Amino acid sequence: MSPPALFWFRQDLRLADNPGLDSLGDRPALLVHVLDDSAAREHALGGAQRWWLHCSLAALDAALRARGSALHLARGDATRIIPKLADEIGAEEVIAGRLYEPWARRRDEAVAHTLEKAGRKLVLHTHSLLHEPHRLRTGAGRPYSVYTPFSRAIFALGEPHPPIPAPKRLTPVAHPPRGESLDALGLLPPGPDWWRGFSASWTPGETGAAERMEAFGKCAIDRYEEDRNTPRIEGTSRLSPHLRFGEISPRQAWHAAREAGLKGEAGFLKELIWREFSYHTLWHRPELPEQPLRAEYARFPWMASRPALRAWQRGLTGYPIVDAGMRQLWRTGWMHNRVRMVAASFLVKHLLQPWQQGEAWFWDTLVDGDLASNAANWQWVAGSGADAAPYFRVFNPVLQGRKFDAGGAYVRRWVPELAKLPDRHIHSPWEAPAEVLSRAGVTLGRDYPRPIIGHAEGRARALAAHAALRAEEAAA
């Protein structure tokens, strides 16, 4: 019989299209997941992600048991746990999907070093991206810093390999060591059970991911370009948390979109490539989550304010489209993509709060919190990142609401205190006449806040801050 192996599940919580798992063949293997908060430190899983992971691990274990194996759970320092488990079962190889976060790369180096000293090896496969970031270079041999040529380069590589079927059976090791129970990992966030409502919106796990992809491929993808910016309807794929935890691979999503053959396919594939671009940026610029990629933005004159940040977090800015998004985030662990841009722009431009504050809040409250995408998108909005939005692009939250939530259905759902306002005033209640507010049962400042800052004032202040930064840079 072949010597046993250890397979380390990480951001690939699925059986299908899992090259590392497929490489096991009929070898006996211990299938392991380690909750290692110490390695990530400040980027340890946020509360919403911990809920998702709890549910996803339960689903994965059930799928493994149906194939004759089970999931071994552990908690602690993976640099000690993984080599120890490999030694206990006599594994020659530890197999895993490659990770790209700076802390994960350092951890893998440490694990590989320890294994090597014991005559074992760490074998990494591509599990969570279409292509390895270090293999994509410009014609000058440099990493890409602009999305459009990066996208062209991805398309020029041709179609990704077809997905690999899930193994029909897996062989466990003869005497597996005892692991932790799922509850013992303590993943479910303590305190208020704000996460209990998540299950009404999501089905974590590989089956849930497949169902979501199938539903999107049958219906929404045909109108993807038209509907993706309309928050009141399900016009997006909502695959982001499934991709983040690897319950579906980008290869599977790519080929499913191709097979659907509908007109929204190209737009959806470009979104997958934007995700790849974020990882490409993180790989080559590991400071992405903490430091602005454009060095001059380290001197940006932010006006950090705890009350302003708190009003934004709670959905009490006085701008209905922003507040609706922030409340949707709190209730469901997710926010519509268009509203994410509006809410993020409002925080960093109208309120001049450091983008890192918004990034941290999203990290804790998003079920799809993904270090590369979260950091890259916040830096894009702030103007400090790769291929960033121009500094003078300041979303007008009233006009954005009127354009993308014309009838106010999205705002009425998430900001119910404004539900009785007519369409004309739903996105700017402070402009409504007193009698209109009275009929709607709204007293501004009591039932719903007045705007925390006027749009014209916020925009002027943001442009002045950027002008001051540019003047300082010119004088340097």
Task: In whole angstroms, give the CA distance from residue 340 to residue 359.
Answer: 11
Question: Is 337 among the residues known to form the active site?
Answer: yes
Query: In the annotation, is 396 catalytic?
Result: no
Catalytic, 355? Answer: yes
Q: What is the mean pLDDT of residues 362-366?
A: 96
Choose the CATH number for 295-475 among 3.40.1360.10, 3.40.309.10, 2.60.40.1220, 1.10.579.10: 1.10.579.10
The structural domains of the chain, with segments of one domain joined by +, span 5-128, 134-165+205-286, 295-475
Task: For residue range 183-234, list pLDDT tens digits in order.
Answer: 999 999 876 678 888 999 999 999 999 999 998 887 777 788 888 889 998 8
Position 392 pLDDT exceeds 90: no
Catalytic one of 93, 247, 265, 271: 271
Q: Quick one: tokens of 381?
A: 């909005």
Q: Which tokens hold the place of 172?
A: 């466990």
Q: What integer pLDDT is reported at residue 192 of this predicted model? A: 66
Closest-CA residue to 312 (of 330, 297, 336): 330
Q: Can 378 be counted among the known catalytic residues?
A: yes
**Which residue of the set 180, 225, 229, 274 is catalytic?**
274
- 226 is annotated as an active-site residue: no
Q: So what CATH class is 134-165+205-286?
A: mainly alpha
Instruction: Check 180, 337, 361, 417 and give the catalytic one.
Output: 337
Catalytic residue among 8, 103, 355, 363: 355
Instruction: Judge whether 194 counts as a catalytic residue.
Output: no
Model confidence band, residue 82 (pLDDT cutoffs 50, 70, 90): very high
* Contact present, 274 and 337 (Cβ < 8 Å): no
According to the model, what pLDDT value does residue 41 have?
Answer: 80
H/E stretch holding 35: strand 28-35
Out of 378, 380, 396, 414, the active site residue is 378
Average pLDDT of the segment spanning 366-389? 91
5-128 has CATH 1.20.200.10 classification? no
User: Does residue 9 register a pLDDT over 70?
Assistant: yes
Assess contact for 133 and 280: CB atoms under 8 A: yes
Q: Say yes or no: do domains 134-165+205-286 and 295-475 share a fold.
A: no
Of 194, 302, 330, 361, which residue is the catalytic one? 302
The label of the residue with tokens 């006085």 reads 318
